[in-house]
Amino acid sequence: MMTAAILTTDRALFREALPMGGRLLGLDVGTKTIGLALCDAGWSIASPAHTIARGRFSKDKAVLTAFITQQQVKGLVIGLPLNLDGRGSPRSQASRAFGQNLADLGLPILLWDERWSTQAVTRTLIEADASRARRSELVDKLAASYILQGAIDGLAGGM
């Protein structure tokens, strides 16, 4: 069964597109990298997966498509960087455009507020005494995991 290709910030609409749950892929889309995280089919825990160095969109999309197929992903959660007051920004427009460019994959896409993800992850890595190089290596996929965990926690119940 093919799921509906939607791009939304509405949790209920996203959930309706995935009535049986299924593995989700979280994305922290930056200008230089894309952090990836996966959750289980029951939407209980998100785990950091991989970081993709950004290149041309066609290359990035091919890498994502192969990963989605390999991991049997049923939906995407893309971090939406909003301003502190909740309004959109140029970066949020870039994330929306990224999601729109993935719509032809036929997967439902949830845009999730990620205002505090990178700061929270960076703070945790600093507290763990991770070196600057190690933080740089981990921050994007950990931010994707933080975003995805927030989304699945928000989607909890009614599955």
Angle formed by the axes of helices 57-71 and 90-102, nearest 10° = 60
**Domains contained in the chain, CATH given:** 7-155 (3.30.420.140)
Its pTM stands at: 0.87
Q: Dihedral angle at the C-alpha atoms of 7, 11, 15, 17, nearest 10 degrees?
A: -20
Quick: pLDDT tens for 79-130. Answer: 998 877 878 888 889 999 999 999 999 999 999 988 666 666 667 667 776 6
